[in-house]
């Protein structure tokens, strides 16, 4: 029953999030602040993971293919591209962001709850749910796809760097492999997933932070729960969207 109650409270919270804001200009200012806090601050981490995971994926592809005369070196780049676009950039990067951004959202809103700042907003007649959460949702949904596209580019570049400078393939072979059998819909599919992932990354931690009870210790526990359940939601959504869009 506790899980059913939590799901119901989550959807009721979403209903309040999408209420028309009282002062649009205030929300626009908050939106750009959240872009910096949630998106721009995460670019360095995304770039680091993307470059080196792309490098590792390309080397693993080269190792698995070995010296098989029936497999051309072009397929190293092709396999790296498909792995990064279809799964690594949208899904793994989103899980990384769930840990970084999700814990930040849950802890920051939770801290406001235990210090009674949210109660003060309610006393002043402010829709605290929309005020605190709506700008985060808008920032995540609009900026995370840009992070994922950057991740795709950096991952493919990392694959080129590792495979070319280790002598596995030449630049020409890598570029030819990247162009082989390319389907633009794969990029669209990845971005569609990212939008759904961004939504749950912004809303599930916000739910845990908003309804936290107790002191600072409970804030930490709510942040941990937020990351766990956001990751679970990402995995489930990933399965459903893959089933609907690719199969």
100-155 pLDDT per residue, tens? 999 999 999 999 998 888 888 888 878 888 889 999 999 999 999 999 999 999 99
User: What does the pLDDT average to over 64-92?
Assistant: 80
Helix, strand, coil percentages in the chain from 3-state DSSP, rounded to 5: 85, 0, 15
Using CA atoms, how far residue 140 sits from 38, 84, 165, in Å, is 7, 21, 36
Q: Does the CA dihedral 160-165-166-170 come out positive or negative? A: positive
In sequence order, the 6+-apart residues with CB closer than 8 A to the CB of 203 are 10, 13, 14, 17, 133, 137
Q: Looking at residue 70, what is its pLDDT? A: 45
| Structural domain boundaries in the chain | 2-245
34-57 pLDDT per residue, tens? 999 898 999 999 999 999 999 999
Q: Looking at residue 27, what is its pLDDT? A: 86
> Both ends of the chain: CA-CA distance in Å?
34
Higher-scoring residue by pLDDT: 52, 182 = 52
Identify the band that residue 69 occupies on the pLDDT scale cut at 50, 70 and 90: very low
Is residue 190 over pLDDT 80? yes
Identify the band that residue 72 occupies on the pLDDT scale cut at 50, 70 and 90: low
Is residue 181 over pLDDT 50? yes
Identify the band that residue 1 occupies on the pLDDT scale cut at 50, 70 and 90: low
């Amino acid at each position: 029953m506790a899980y059913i109650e939590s799901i119901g409270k989550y959807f009721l919270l979403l209903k309040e999030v999408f209420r028309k804001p009282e002062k649009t200009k205030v929300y626009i200012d908050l939106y750009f602040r959240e872009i910096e806090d949630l998106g721009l601050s995460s670019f360095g981490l995304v770039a680091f993971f993307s470059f080196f995971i792309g490098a590792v994926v390309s080397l693993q592809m080269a190792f698995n293919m070995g010296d098989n005369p029936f497999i051309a070196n072009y397929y190293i780049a092709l396999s790296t591209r498909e792995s990064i676009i279809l799964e690594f950039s949208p899904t793994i990067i989103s899980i990384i962001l769930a840990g970084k951004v999700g814990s930040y959202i849950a802890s920051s809103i939770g801290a406001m709850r235990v210090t009674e700042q949210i109660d003060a907003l309610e006393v002043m007649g402010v829709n605290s749910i929309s005020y605190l959460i709506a700008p985060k949702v808008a920032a995540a949904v609009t900026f995370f796809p840009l992070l994922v596209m950057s991740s795709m580019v950096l991952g493919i570049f990392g694959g080129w760097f590792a495979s070319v400078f280790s002598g596995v393939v030449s630049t020409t072979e890598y570029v030819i492999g990247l162009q082989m059998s390319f389907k633009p819909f794969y990029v669209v599919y990845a971005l569609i997933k990212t939008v759904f992932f961004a939504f749950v990354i912004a809303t599930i931690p916000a739910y845990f932070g908003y309804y936290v009870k107790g002191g600072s210790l409970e804030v930490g526990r709510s942040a941990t729960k937020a990351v766990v359940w956001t990751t679970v939601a990402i995995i489930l959504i990933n399965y459903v969207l893959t089933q609907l869009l690719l199969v």
